[in-house]
């Protein structure tokens, strides 16, 4: 990414850099939990799924490196999550999952749901990335005004800025955010 010095997790994965357990956990736990919800897992099963998926990626090592010959990371991640989730569902006493994993996902219309969750994940990472691309006060103005919906006058007073500067900050962040989203979506 040309606009930031800190590499995003996604670009690290794409470039085959080492990823730490903590980094991976912080970024991917929400996505795995949301996907687990789409697949109908209960709360404890969702957490089990996070642990199993994490174990699959790290396999005893503290760091993990993505092997690009496996294809797109998003597809690889999806396959692991789906397979492990279906396997958890099969373990439930009264549930007969007669279909194979792929058929089960398709039969329940869960392919599109994954695309939506992944887009959400990218957007979330883009917001994270935005923090590294603009001045902290610019981000703060944007966050309070455009994300939390506080009034421009209140944010201006709180940050000791003019009302116009709040709008400038909002639009600067918005333009930057669009670039980041386009960039992560393109390199996805």
Q: Which residues bind another protein (CB under 8 A)?
A: 29-30, 33-34, 43-44, 47, 50, 120-121, 123-124, 127, 146-147, 149, 152, 163-164, 167-168, 170-171, 174, 177-178
Smallest gap from residue 165 Cβ to another protein (A): 9
CA-closest candidate to residue 32, choices 68, 66, 70, 82 = 82
Smallest gap from residue 39 Cβ to another protein (A): 14
Closer of 104 and 144 to another protein (Cβ): 144
* Rounded Cα gap, residues 55 and 108, in angstroms: 27
Closer of 61 and 119 to another protein (Cβ): 119
* Rounded Cα gap, residues 99 and 104, in angstroms: 6
Q: Which residues contact 107 (CB under 8 A, 6 or more apart)?
A: 99
Closer of 50 and 110 to another protein (Cβ): 50
* Rounded Cα gap, residues 108 and 38, in angstroms: 10
Smallest gap from residue 103 Cβ to another protein (A): 28
Closer of 31 and 105 to another protein (Cβ): 31
Smallest gap from residue 96 Cβ to another protein (A): 27
Q: How far is CA 61 from CA 29, 65, 81, in A?
A: 18, 10, 19
């Amino acid at each position: 990414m040309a606009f930031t010095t800190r590499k995003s997790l996604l670009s690290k994965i794409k470039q085959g850099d080492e990823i730490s357990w903590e980094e991976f956990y912080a970024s991917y736990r929400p996505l795995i939990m949301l996907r687990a919800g789409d697949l109908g897992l209960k709360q404890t099963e969702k957490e089990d799924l996070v642990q199993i998926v994490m174990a699959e990626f790290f396999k005893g090592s503290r760091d993990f490196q993505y092997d690009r010959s496996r294809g797109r990371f998003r597809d690889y991640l999806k396959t692991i999550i789906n397979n492990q989730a279906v396997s958890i569902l099969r373990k439930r006493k009264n549930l007969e999952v007669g279909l194979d994993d792929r058929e089960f996902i398709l039969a329940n219309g869960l392919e599109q749901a994954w695309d939506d969750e992944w887009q959400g994940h990218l957007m979330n990472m883009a917001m994270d990335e935005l923090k590294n691309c603009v001045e902290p006060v610019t981000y703060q103005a944007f966050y309070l005004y455009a994300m939390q919906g506080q009034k421009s006058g209140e944010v201006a007073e709180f940050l000791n800025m003019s009302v116009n500067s709040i709008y400038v900050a909002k639009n600067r962040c918005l333009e930057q955010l669009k670039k980041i989203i386009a960039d992560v979506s393109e390199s996805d």
